[in-house]
Amino acid sequence: MKVVAIANQKGGVGKTTTSVNLSAALAAMDKRVLLLDLDPQGNASVSVGLNKSELVTSTYELLVEQQPLEEVALSLPQLRMDVVPANGDLTAAEVALLSVDDREQRLKQALESGTQRYDFVIIDCPPSLNMLTLNALVAANSVLITMQCEYFALEGLSALLETINTINQTVNPSLCVEGILRTLYDPRNALTNEVSEQLHQHFEGLVYRTVIPRNVRLAEAPSHGLPGIVYDRLARGATAYMALAGEFMRRQEHHSKDNV
């Protein structure tokens, strides 16, 4: 089982869209996938057709009350994957976790029972470096960073990479960067091309070749409770996410060969 945290402390950079569509694309490739919503806004849960106000169990129960993963994960047969949903209750989890021992290990412990059940766990992190994100980074094998190619993006990226590095050296030595994904991409914009070029220079080998374009159909999909790749599989955004899943899987195969 590989656990991938999709993170960036900036909001609005395509984390949830990427979490939902990469999960659905991997499930469509016959991988056993769990999407874990770790954002109190619960946008990933809504994006797969769940009603946040009707949840019986959520990530809160998983982290704070330590309910078993198999009791909290919901099956989504139409998408051929499972989800641990989230809603505003998760805001209280932040406070509740502050007073418990091993608070940054809670998610890691919770996921241990899923080792045989899933090939991939994709975690949609909140847009801040808080206790929830810390739990994700301690539980994860790798971090997929989504970013827009804009002026302040590189600054935010440096801060996130420092955090990942600190966690790697202290509590999770297996944590690494899975890759950097350029989202909301507009090649007609000069700044986009300039930032993209800088990314390639500084992070050669980490930047995905696939870029995710700005796409109306992707933006519409959550309001229909569907991942973009299901809502309109021929849209530019959907085909980009299918391409990302293919590139992601090729990297997994490459890593496993390197580790033999």
Give residue 260's pLDDT. 55
Cβ 179 vs Cβ 251: under 8 Å:
yes
How many other β-carbons are positioned within 10 Å of the β-carbon of residue 251? 14
Give residue 204's pLDDT. 86
Give residue 259's pLDDT. 65
Domains of the chain listed by start with CATH number: 2-258 (3.40.50.300)
State how far the Cα of 213 lies from the Cα of 229, in Å rounded to an integer: 14
Interstrand relation of 81-84 and 74-76 (parallel, antiparallel or unpaired):
antiparallel
Tokens of 42: 């619960």
Interstrand relation of 142-148 and 74-76 (parallel, antiparallel or unpaired):
unpaired
Tokens of 160: 């996130």
Using CA atoms, how far residue 22 sits from 14, 31, 57, in Å, is 11, 11, 24
Tens-level pLDDT at each residue, the chain (260 residues): 999 999 998 888 999 999 999 999 999 999 999 999 999 999 999 999 999 999 999 999 999 999 999 999 999 999 999 999 999 999 999 889 989 989 999 999 999 999 999 999 999 999 988 999 999 999 999 999 999 998 888 888 988 999 999 999 999 999 999 999 999 999 999 999 999 999 999 998 999 999 999 999 999 999 999 999 999 999 999 999 999 999 999 999 887 777 65
Tokens of 176: 């690494």
State how far the Cα of 87 lies from the Cα of 57, in Å rounded to an integer: 10
Read off the pTM: 0.96
Dihedral sign computed on CA atoms, order 90, 91, 92, 94: positive
